Structure 1
Amino acid sequence: MDGDFSLSNVKKGDIIQISFVGYQTQEVKWTGQPIDVTLKDDTQQLGEVVVTALGLKREEKALGYAVTEVKGDELKAANTISPVAALQGKVAGVEISGSDGGLFGGTKIQIRGASTLSSNNQPIYVVDGVILDNGVSGNTTADWDAGANNASDYGNELKNLNPDDFETVSVLKGAAATALYGSRGLNGAVVITTKSGKGTQGLGISVSQTFGIDHAFKTPDIQTLYGPGYMPGQSDADQNGSIWDAHQFTVNQNGEHTLVGVPNFGFGPKYDGSQIRNYDGTWTTYSPRKNNMLDLYKLGFNTNTNVSIRGGNEKTSFYTSLSYKNAKSTTENNTFERYSMLLKASHKLNDWVDVAASFSFANSKPRNAQLNAGELFVNANTNVINPLFDVDYFRNKYLGEHGGIASTSYGDQYGSVPSSAKNYFFKVDNYDYVRKETVIRPTFEVNVKMTDWLKFKADANMNRYYTSIEDKQLGSGYANEGGYYGITQDIKEQFTVGGTFTASKQIKDFSLGGFARFEYYNTSSKHSKVSTDGGMVVPGEWFVENSKKTKKSEATISGSKRIISTIFALNLGWKNQVYLDVTGRNDWSSALVYANRTGNHSYFYPSVSGSWLINETFRESMPSWINLAKLRASWAQVGNDTDPYTVNQTYSFATMEMYDGNIYTNELDKLMKIADLKPERKNSWEIGLDFRTFNNRLNLDFTYY
C-alpha cells in the first residue's frame, strides 16, 4: 500500500511489471540497482473500485453481487432537496416515487421490491459509516379530508444531506451485498462517501451556484362540456315541479340562474356563455375556465450556493464546505431553507498510525407542508371546485366581516363561496407550521498498520437528530373562534463504536483477504409536546397559556435499543479471474429480549458470493472489443428484529378527572404478544452477468434473483 516492495530470484535484465488498481501498469527492466517508480493515475481503471458495505473499497470485478455506483456530481445537478429523488432513473432495479408533499415531502425508494411485512421497506442510508434511518413519512389526512388542519408530510432526515459533498453513491442491491449490515440491511443500502482532501497537493477552492424554476403545467383531464348539476330525476333544481328535466339550472328566489347551491355533480346544462349569478351574487358568464386548477399554483424557485475548500500534503489532508439552499414551492407559503457544513481531516502520525475525523452539521427549516390543492377539484367526496370557479377572483374573498371564514349563517357576503376553497385559502394565509431540524454527525477513526498484511481500525460515530416544531392555527369560526397553538420537540440519538482487523496477503496465484469486526450500536428517542385545548381565549396570541381548557402536555423517552454485533468476511481470489467471498454477522438485539430476560435475541446472517471473469480466463482468444465478461452468483440470509418494547405485554396508565378527585386506571393492550417471537429472516439468491464492450461505452448488467 505504501509502495515498498522486495523481490527475490530476480536476474539482471528481467522485466518487472508494477500494477495497482487505479493506476497505469508500468514495466521496468532491472539493472541491478534499487527501483524507484512513480505510477500515473488511470481514470478508466479507477472506476473499477467501488465502495461496498461497511465502507470497504473493493474491485468491482471481484464482487459476486450487483452494485451500482453513481458519482456525486450526477446527483447535485438535479438540485433536489432530497438526494433520494436525484437517483431517479440512474440505477436499475430501484423504484423511486415521490409523495405529494411538495418541496420536502417524503421520497420512497425500494430496491427489488418489498422485503418485509412491516410498513418500511426502504433501504438504509450510510454516510461515511453513519447509518441513517430512511423512515416512511406520515401520510397526511389532508389528502382526503378537507377538514384536516394541516398537511403532515415533512419528509425525513435525508433532506438534511448536502449532495455537493458526495464523492460517490453506491447502491447495494442484493442480500449478499448488505448482509454485513445485519438487521438494518434487510431492504438494501445506499452507501454515500463524502469528499476529502486525500490526493490533493496545496489548496483548492470551489464555488458553485445553482438556480432552478418549478412550474405547474399539467392537470388531470376534467370535462368542460357540461356544468354542475344533479342527475336527471335526482332533484327539482329549477323548482318547476318536475325532477325529470335533464340538465336543470339551479335558480334563486328571483328565478335567476345561479351558482349558489349548485351540487358537486357534473350533470348540469351545457356551458353556453349565458349570464348567471356568481357565488358572491355578482353576474358572471356560464363558461368554463379550463385551467382554473393551475391558477392555484405559482411559479416555484430554488437556489443552492456551495463553497468548498480542500487541501493537503504528504501527511495531512482536509476538506470543508459550506452550503445554503433556499426553495419556494409552487403553492403559497410552502418554503424550505437549509444551512449545512462539513469539516473533514486526516493526519498521518507516523508510518504506522493515522487518524481521521469529520463533523457534519445541518440546520433546515421546512415550512407549511404542501396542501393537496388538486384534490379540491376532483374529489367528489368534498365540496368540489368546478370549472366555473374563478380562482384569481375569489383568492381573497373568503372571510366574513368578523374575521373568520365567511358563512351564510352570519349573512356574510362570501358565505356561498365553496367551503373547500374558503378553507384552503384560510389555511394558507392564517396557519403557520414551522419545523426546524438540526443534525449533528461527528465521526472519528484511528488506523494502525500492525504488519504489512494486517491492519486495525477503531472507529466511533454519532448521529443526533433534533426537531423543534411551532404550530400556529388561527381560529376559523365566528370572530376567529377556535384556534390552536402547539410546541413539539423530538430528539433522536444514535451512537456506534467498533473495531476492525483487516488482513490482505498474496500467496503465489492466490489472494487472501478479509476482516473481523466488533460493533456496538445504541439508539434512543425523546419526545415532548405542549398545546392548547378547546380553542384560544384571545385569537392570534401565540402562547400555550392562552388555552380555553387546561393545556395539554405529553412527554416520553422511547425507542431505546441496543445491538451488539460480531462480523467477519473472507475474500479469496485466484489469478485475478475467480473470486469467492464468505461473510457472516451475528446480532444481539435488545428489542427481542422479554421482561424475564429470555427471547430469540441472538441471530446469525451468512452470505456466499462468487464471480468468474471470463475475459481474463480466455484473454488470448477473447475479442479486443470485449472489456469485461463476468459471471456472478450469490446466496445470503438477512433479517430484521422489531421495534423497541414490541414483544412485552404492558398496561397503559391514565388519569380521569372527576368532580370529587382523580381516578387512576390501567388497561391491558388489546394486541396479545407472542411469547417466543423470532427474528424475521429473508433468504435471497441471485445470478448475474456483467458485460462491457467498446471501451466501456456499452454495458449490460443482467440479474436474475
Structure 2
Amino acid sequence: MRRSFLLTTLLFLCCCFAAWAQDKKAVTGTVKDEKGTPLPGVTVKEKGTANGAMSGADGTFKVQVASDATLVLSYIGFMNQEVPVNGQTTLSIVLKEDNKNLNEVVVTAMGMKREQRKLGYAVTELKGADVAKTNSINPVSALQGKVAGLDISAAAGGPAAAPRIVLRGAKSLNGKDQPIFIVDGVIFENDESAADVNFGNVLKNLNPDDYESVTVLKGAAATALYGSRAINGAILITTKKGNARKGIGVTVSQTAQIEKVYRGAIDLQNGYGQGIDGSYDNTAGGYSFGPKMDGRMVQLPNGTSVPFTPKPNNAKDLYQTGKYFNTNVAMEGGNDKGTFRLSYSHLDNNSVSPNNSFGRNTFAFRGSSQISRVLSADAGVTYATSKTLNPDRQGGDYTNYNIGRKWVYVFPRNYDPSIWSKPENYLGPNGGRANLSTNPGADYFYQQAYNSWTRKESLITGNFALTAVATNWLKFIGKANFSSEQSTDERKEVGTSDFFKGSDAFYSIAGVNKSQYTFTGMAIITPKLGKKFDGSLNLGGETWNSGIGRQYNNYSDGGLRIPFLYDISNSINAPIVKNDPLLRKRINSLFFAASLAYNNELFLDVTGRNDWSSALTYPKGSNGKTTNSYFYPSVSAAWEFTQTLKEEMPSWISYGKLRASYAMVGGDLDPYQINVGYYTPSLFQGSATGKNLPLVNIYNTDILPNMALKPSISKSWELGANVRFFNNRLGFDFAWYRTNITNQIINLPTPIESGVTSRYINAGSMINRGIELSINGTPIQHKNFTWDVTLNGSRNKNKIISLAPGVDQLQLNEDQGVKAIASVGGSYGNLITDYGYTRDANGKPIISLGGSDFPYKFVRGGAVVGNIMPDFNLGLQNSFTYKNWNLGVLIQARIGGDFFSASHQYGTGRGTTANTMYGRDSEHGGITFTDGSGVTRNDGMIPDAVFQKGTTISKDGQNIALDGMTYQQAYEKGYVSPLTPFQYYGMVGDWGIGIREASVFDASYVALREVSLGYSLPTDLVQRWRLNSLRVSLVGRNLGYLFNNLPDHINPEAVRNNKTSAFSEYGAVPFVRNMGLTVQVGF
C-alpha cells in the first residue's frame, strides 16, 4: 500500500509542473445584486482553471485572464453565472438571487463542493454566522433544534462540557456512536465523558467566528468516503477565507453575556423543616419531616438559636451570576494572486458555579495563492490554548462536590447557607474541616475554598492543499493536514484533619499528548460527454495516522507532608508514577467517486472506499486471522422531475426532486484491543525519583482476545423528496432511512469462573428506521419586511434483532439500580430495574409488612420501566426581517424518552422535594387520625396498594389476614392506621427500600431555545464614521421551558454524562439562561 501512495504522490508532483503559456490581461469588474447593492466575497473564477479572485467589500474585483476567457461567478444565496470576457477589460455584473438556494453549493465528503440539487442524499448546511451568534463555548450546542435528525442534549459540567449528540438514532452497542467533526479536513471526535467530570471536547478550543459553514452529513451515502471513522455520521466545519479587496479589511466584535440561574434543578418544599415524624431534631441530617417552619426558635447543631423559617432561595443562593466575554479580531485582504485571513479570539467565562471558569485564546490563519495559471494553494493553521477550572461534578468519587445532591439528600429545608458557608462554620478549631454532624455542608464549602482541578490544553492544527489544473478536464489535488493536542490535569486537595493534614490530602498531575496526520491525493476527471451528459470521476488515496504519545499520571499516596505544598515529592508515602505506552493507529485507504448527470435532470453518484486498519491486524507469529481490509460502496440517485416534466408541471409547483441512496460502511476499534495481552494504560510504576521503576501490568489478562475479529458493517438505505411551491414560497424536504448495523465489535462480560472478565466478539444486529421532515415557507415577502419560518422534525425507531449466541441482554449504562439495556426483540435503551413495583392482576402495587421505621413497604420486583430514546425531535425557527432589523426565534422540543431522577427519588425519601408536601396537613390532603400514642394528627396518608398474600396483622388479640385487601379497605375496617409522610415517602424514596420506578418519567419538553435581535446601521451612516459596517445584536439562549413534563420542574436536559445511553441525573445542574450583547465593527 505504501508503494501505491508513493506512486500517487509522484504522479501528482509531476502534474504540478504541467503548464502552458497564454496571453493574459487584467479584467476589473463590479458585482451587485438586483437591488444594486454591492456583493462582497463573490467567487470569480476563470472557467476551466483554478485562476480566480474574490470581490471586495465594495463588490469590485480584479483578475488576470485570457481575452477569450469565461468568468464563473458564485455566491451563497445567488445563482451561479457565467460571463464571457470577449476582450473587455471592465465588467458590471448583476447576480440573481437563488430563491431558497435551489442551486446552492454545499460542502460534501472529502471537502468536495457540490450543487445540492444534484445530491441523492440528505445534507443540511448552516451558515457560520448562525452558529457563532449564540456565542456558545461549544459550538455544537448552537445546532440544537436546527437540523432534522440531529438530537443534542446538554451535559453536566458547565458551559464548556461536551454535549450528547445522536444523529439518526443510536447505532452502536459498544458506546461509540457519536458523529465525527471535520474542521478543514482535520477529524475530531466528540469524546464521551464519565459521570464524574466533563471537561468538554476539543471543539471548545476553536473559534466559531472563524466558521464559514457547518454541514451535517447524516446518512452513510453522504459519509462513505470518510471511511470507518464516519460510520455514525459527520459534521463538516469549513473556516473562512480571506476576500480580495482594496487594502486590508478589519472586523472587530465584542460580546458580553451574563448567565443567570432562574430555577433550581428541582423544586423543593418550603413548608416543613428538619426532623422526623413531625418533631424537630437537629441531628436528623437531611430529613425534612419535622414540624412546620412557623418562625419558632430552634437550636442549630452548633448551639446557636435561630428562627425556624423557610429559606425559599437557599438552593439558588450558592450560585453566582456567570459572566462571559469574547473578543474577536480578524483582518483579511488579497488580490487576484492570493488572499489571506488572520484572526484572534480571547474568551473568558466564569460560570454560575463558584470557582468554575473557562478561558481560551485562539489564533487562526487561512491563506490562498494562485501560484500560476495551473497551480494554486490553500493553507490554514490554528493554534489555541485553554484552561478549565473545576467543572461541575456529579456522583462517583465526587459526591461531596455535588451541591445539587446535597440540597435533596443532605441539607434539611431550613439549612441556611448564609450561616454555614462562613469559614468559622466549615473550618475546625485547629484548621481542617468542621465536623459534618455539625455542618453537613462543611465538606462542600471546604473544598470550594481550598481544592481545585485544572485542565490546561493546547491545540495546533494545520491543513495544506495544492491544486494543479492539467487540462480543462483534469486536475490533481494533494492535501495534508495534522493536529496535535496536549492536555495537563492538576488536582490539589488539602487534608481535612487538624492543621489541614490527613491521608485525604492529595496532589496529582497527569497529561496526554495526541497527534494525527493525513495525506490525501486525488485526481479529478471531468470529461466532455456530449450535450446532454455531464460527469466527473475522482480517484484518490489516503493515509491517516494517529497516536497517543506520552501519557502519565503521577499522584501522591497517604497524604501530603506539608499542607498546601503541591508537589509529587511532598507525598507521605512513595508517590505513584504511571507512564503509559505509545498507542498508534493507521488506516490506509483507496477511494473513488463517480458522478453522472443527464440533461441536467437525472443525477447518479457511485462511490467506493477500501480501508486497511492497523487496529484489526494481528502480530506476526500469532494465530490470528487478519481481516483488516474492508470495502464499502455507495450509490445515490436524484431526479429533478420538474425539469423533466416542466411542460406538464402546474405553475404552483416551483421545484421538485426525488432521491434515493444505498451505502455500506465498515468499522473497527481502538488499537491494541484484539491481541493476546495487549498493553494497558499502566506500564511503569515506582518512585518519583525515576529510580526503581519495574515493569508492571504489561499484559491484560482480564480480556480474552478474539483471533478472528472482523470489521463491523453498517448498511443504509435512504429515500427522499424535496418539493417547493408557489414560486418557492413554500417547500418541504422529506427523508426516510433504514440502517442495519451488524457484526458489531463488543466487549462482552463473562462469568468470573472463566478466569477473564470479558471478551471481544463480533455480534449483534440492530436496525434503525426513521423519517425526517423539514418544512420551510415565507408567509410574508415584502420589499421592507420578510417572515421566514422553518419547521423540522424527526422520528427514529430502533430494534435489536440479535446479540451474541446465548446472550439476550446487554447492559449499556447503570445508575442507582436502574439500567439501560439492549435486549433481543426490544429497543436500544430500554430501562429496567429490580427496584420496581410488584403489581397484582389489576395493576395495583403490592405492599407488605416492613420494619419499625417503615411498618409497611412496597414489594420490589424487576420491571421494564421505560425507554431513553425520544419519540420525536422538533425545531421551529422564525426569522423576521424589517429593513436593517432582524429578529430570530427558535423553539425546540423533545417528545418522549424516559428519564430517571435520583434527585426526585432520594429527595422524596428525605422529604425535601416539593412533591412531598402532599399529605403533610389537611390543607395538602392529609387525613386526620389518632396515632398509637393517642395524639390527633392531620398528616395521614393511604397508599394506593394491595396487601401481599400471606400478610396478617394482630388486632385485638386476633390474627387478621389482609390478603388481597387494599390499604384503603383495611383502613376503613380499622385494621391499619394511615401512614405518616415520613413512613410513606420513606418506603417510596428511601435509599435502601425505595422504588426507583416511581422516579422514572417521560421527559418531554418544549423549550424557548434562542431569541436574537440584530440591527445593522445604514451604510451611508457608518461610512460617515469611516467604517464599512456596524452591527449590534442581542441574543438570549436557553430562555425557559414552555412545557416540561417532569414533576417538580426537574431539569430534563441535565443528564450526568454525554453518552448516548445516558438517562439519569443526581443533583443536576440548575436552569441557566444566557443573555448578551454583541457589537461588530468592520473597517
Q: TM-score, normalised by structure 1?
A: 0.86
Match of 1:617 in 2: 644
| 2:371 pairs with 1:345 | no
- Secondary structure of the 1:438 match is strand
Q: Which residue of 1 aligns with 2:666?
A: 639
Which residue type is aligned with residue 386 of structure 2? Answer: S
Distance 1:555 1:34 in 2: 69
> Quick one: structure 1 residues 613 and 18, their matched pair in 2 at CA, closer, same or farther if it must change by over 3 Å?
farther
Query: Is 1:464 the equivalent of 2:475?
Result: no
User: In structure 2, which of residues 548, 564, 583 is the aligned counterpart of residue 559 of structure 1?
Assistant: 583
Report deviation, 1:617: 1.8
Instruction: Provide the rounded CA distance (Å) in 1 between the counterparts of 2:655 and 2:131.
Output: 26
Q: Which moved more, 1:80-89 or 1:221-230?
A: 221-230
Select 1:3's aligned residue among 28, 47, 50. Answer: 47
Paired residues of 1:376 and 1:385 also in contact (CA < 8 A): no
SS at match of 1:159: helix
Q: Deviations over 1:600-632 (max 9, x none)?
A: 100011111111112222223434454432111
Say which of 576, 596, 601 aligns to 2:628. 601
Q: CA RMSD in A?
A: 2.6
The amino acid of 1:55's aligned partner reads G
Partner amino acid for 2:115? E
2:199 — aligned with what?
154
Judging changes above 3 Å, is the alpha-carbon distance between structure 1 residues 39 and 570 closer, same or farther for their aligned structure 2 residues?
A: farther
Q: Is the 1:431–1:473 contact (alpha carbons within 8 Å) kept by the matching residues of 2?
A: yes
Change (3 A) 1:447 1:289: same
Report if the CA contact (8 A) 2:364-2:381 is conserved. Answer: yes
SS class of match (2:569)? helix
In the alignment, the residues of structure 2 paired with residue 656 and residue 630 of structure 1 have an alpha-carbon distance, to the nearest angstrom, of 63
Does the CA-based 8 Å contact 2:580-2:684 persist in structure 1?
Answer: no
Residues 202 and 313 in structure 1, CA contact (< 8 A), matched pair in contact too: no
Q: Which residue pairs with 2:249 in the alignment?
A: 204
Contact 2:579 2:684 survives alignment (8 Å): no
Are residues 1:404 and 2:404 paired? no
Displacement of 1:644 in angstroms is 0.2
Superposed displacement of residue 346, structure 1: 1.1
2:98 alignment counterpart: 44
> Quick one: which amino acid aligns to residue 256 of structure 2?
F
Q: Map of 1:260-409 to 2, 5 A cutoff?
A: 261-372=283-394, 373-377=402-406, 379-380=408-409, 384-396=410-422, 397-407=425-435
Q: CA deviation at 1:228?
A: 3.1
The alpha-carbon distance between structure 1 residues 275 and 696, as it changes in their structure 2 partners (threshold 3 A), is farther
Residue of 212, 218, 239 corresponding to 1:173? 218
Q: Deviations over 1:21-43 (max 9, x none)?
A: 6565779999xx87887654445
1:608-687 aligned at under 5 Å gives the runs 608-650=635-677, 669-687=701-719
* Residues 582-591 or 530-539, more deviating: 530-539
Q: Contact 2:581–2:683 at 8 Å: present in 1 too?
A: no
2:438 maps to 416
1:135 matched to which residue of 2?
Answer: 191
Mapped to 2, the partners of 1:63 and 1:122 lie a distance apart of 24
Counterpart-to-counterpart distance in 2, 1:182 and 1:357: 24
Letter matched to residue 429 of structure 2: E
2:944 alignment partner in structure 1: none
| Matching residue of 1:701 | 733
Structure 1 residue 268: deviation in Å?
2.3
Match of 1:519 in 2: 542
CA distance 1:627–1:304, shift in 2 (3 Å) = farther
Task: Work out the CA distance in 1 between the residues paired with 2:499 and 2:648.
Answer: 87
| Alpha carbons 1:449, 1:456 under 8 Å: kept | yes
Q: Which runs of 5+ in 2 are unaligned?
A: 1-44, 50-69, 395-401, 687-692, 738-1083
Q: CA deviation at 1:378?
A: 5.0
Alignment partner, residue 237 of structure 1: none
Distance, in Å, in 2 between the alignment partners of 1:460 and 1:345 is 15
| Distance across 2 between alignment mates of 1:460 and 1:105 | 30
Q: Which residue of 2 aligns with 1:584?
A: 608
- Contact kept? 2:664, 2:716, Cα under 8 Å: yes
Distance of 1:21 and 1:358 partners within structure 2: 22
Structure 1: distance between partners of 2:699 and 2:362: 46
Decide whether the 8 Å contact of 2:288 with 2:413 is kept in 1: no
Equivalents in 2 of 1:90, 1:486: separation in Å? 42
- Whole-angstrom distance in 2 between the partners of 1:602 and 1:263: 61
CA deviations over 1:70-122 (Å, ceiling 9, x no partner): 00001111111101111111111100011110121121111101112222211
Mapped contact 2:73–2:82 kept (Cα < 8 A)? no
Find the aligned partners of 2:695 and 2:97 in 1 and give their Cα distance: 74
Distance 1:629 1:609 in 2: 17
Q: Which residue identity is paired with 1:393?
A: I
Task: Please give the alpha-carbon distance, in whole angstroms, between the structure 2 residues aligned to 1:124 and 1:156.
Answer: 11
* 2:583 partner amino acid: G
Identity score, percent: 38
Contact 1:24–1:39 (Cα < 8 Å) also in 2: no
SS in 2 for 1:193: strand
CA displacement, residues 543-601 of structure 1 (integer Å, 9 cap, x when unaligned): 21111001111111333100000011011111111111111110000000012374110
2:724 counterpart of 1:692: yes
Residues 24, 106 of structure 1: alpha-carbon distance in 2 compared, 3 angstrom cutoff = closer
Assess if the C-alpha contact under 8 Å between 2:579 and 2:683 holds in 1. no
Shift in CA distance, 202/610, structure 1 to aligned 2, threshold 3 Å: farther
Query: Alpha carbons of 1:368 and 1:225: their partners in 2 closer, same or farther (altered >3 Å)?
Result: same
Q: Judge conservation of contact 1:137–1:156 (CA < 8 Å) in 2.
A: no
Take 1:40 and 1:368, find their aligned partners in 2: how far apart are those partners? 55
Deviation at 1:298, TM superposition (A): 0.6
* Structure 2 CA distance for partners of 1:475 and 1:455, relative to 1, 3 Å: same
Amino acid at match of 2:301: Y
Change (3 A) 1:471 1:695: farther
Deviation at 1:356?
1.7
Distance 2:539 2:698 in 1: 48
Indicate how the Cα distance of structure 1 residues 685 and 192 shifts in structure 2: closer, same or farther if over 3 A, else same.
Answer: same
- Match of 2:130, SS state, is helix
Between 1 and 2, higher relative CO (CA 8 Å, sep ≥ 6) is seen in 2
- 1:479 match: 499
| Secondary structure of residue in 1 paired with 2:46 | coil
- 8 A Cα contact 2:48 2:473, kept in partner: no
Identify which range, 348-357 or 582-591, moves more after superposition.
Answer: 348-357
Relative to structure 1, the CA distance from residue 335 to residue 589 in structure 2 (aligned partners, 3 Å threshold; closer, same or farther) is same
Alpha-carbon shift at residue 249 of structure 1 (Å): 2.6
Q: Would the alpha carbon gap of residues 666 and 451 (structure 1) be closer, same or farther in structure 2, given more than 3 Å must change?
A: closer
Q: 1:85 corresponds to which letter in structure 2?
A: S
- Answering whether residue 470 of structure 2 is matched by residue 450 of structure 1, we say yes
Aligned-partner Cα distance in 2 for 1:515–1:690: 27
CA distance in 2, matches of 1:87, 1:640: 26
Q: Indicate conservation of the 8 Å contact 2:273/2:280, yes or no.
A: no
Q: Decide whether the 8 Å contact of 1:377 with 1:386 is kept in 2.
A: no
Which AA in structure 1 matches 2:347? Answer: K
Using the alignment, how far apart are the partners of 1:636 and 1:581 within structure 2? 11
CA distance in 2, matches of 1:121, 1:357: 31
SS state at 1:54 partner: helix
Partner Cα separation in structure 1 for residue 163 and residue 74 of structure 2: 36
Deviations 1:240-296 (A, max 9, x none): xxxxxx42232xxxxxxxx2x114333322332211112322111222212211111
